[in-house]
Amino acid sequence: MERLSILYASALFDLALEKDLIDDLLDQATVVRDTLQGEECQRILVHPHIPASQKHIFFKKAFAGHIHADLLGFLFLVVDKNREAYLVPALSELIEMIEHYKGKVTALVSFASALDEGQIMAMKGMLSQKLNKDVKVSLKVDPSVIGGPYIFVDGYYIDWTVRTRLRDLTVHMKEGCSA
């Protein structure tokens, strides 16, 4: 599934570059993806007894006049090929490609408890400076880390969690006892 989603996203990305629609397509693809992720939309998209023509009407009512004709055509194409399950992954992949092209990355950050806005902004600033890119922070609260951050960004990860340090200490102690 991932391979086909990447192929769809690459084709849309190339089209956006060719027609100088990068900024517009980023915004529009985000709106479409977020809309289609909804539970009601998913039921309509994957329902085997709703014909492609009805799904076309749904897309026209929801998006016509709000998104570029090529993006709407992509939605129709995917439905015509009976590959609706690929829509959201392909749009997510497209958004990621465009953000990477524009020098933007998303940092996935896990902490044991929620951070306040000032802490998030400080982390965003520090990561932006280190990576020399515009960084968006996606925060996940995970009590199992106990304390400290786990950060995954731009293919790199930083694990300063207490959980990992305790695990490493346990391994080190076991190795020391068996020596």
* Structure tokens belonging to residue 134: 């515009």
Measured distance CA(63)–CA(32) in Å, rounded:
8
How confident is the model at residue 40, as a pLDDT? 87
53/90 same-domain check: yes
Over its C-alpha atoms, the chain yields an Rg (Å, rounded) of 21
How confident is the model at residue 1, as a pLDDT? 60
Domain that holds residue 115: 105-178
How confident is the model at residue 97, as a pLDDT? 92
pLDDT (tens place) for every residue of the chain, 179 residues total: 679 899 999 999 999 999 999 999 999 999 999 999 988 888 888 888 999 999 999 999 999 899 999 999 999 999 999 999 899 999 999 999 999 899 888 899 999 999 999 999 999 999 999 888 899 899 999 999 999 899 999 888 889 999 999 999 888 888 876 65
Measured distance CA(156)–CA(145) in Å, rounded:
18
12/67 same-domain check: yes
C-alpha dihedral, 32 to 59 to 69 to 77, nearest 10°: 100
171/95 same-domain check: no
Which of 52, 69, 100 represents a domain boundary (last residue)? Answer: 100
Which of 35, 68, 100 represents a domain boundary (last residue)? Answer: 100
46/117 same-domain check: no
Domain count, the chain: 2
Helix, strand, coil shares of the chain, percent, nearest 5, are 65, 15, 20
52/85 same-domain check: yes
The enclosing domain of 138 has a CATH number of: 3.40.30
User: In a 3-state reduction of DSSP, which class is residue 158?
Assistant: strand
Secondary structure string (H, E, C) spanning 45-56: HHCCCCCHHHHH
Count the Cβ atoms, other than its own, within 10 Å of residue 59: 23
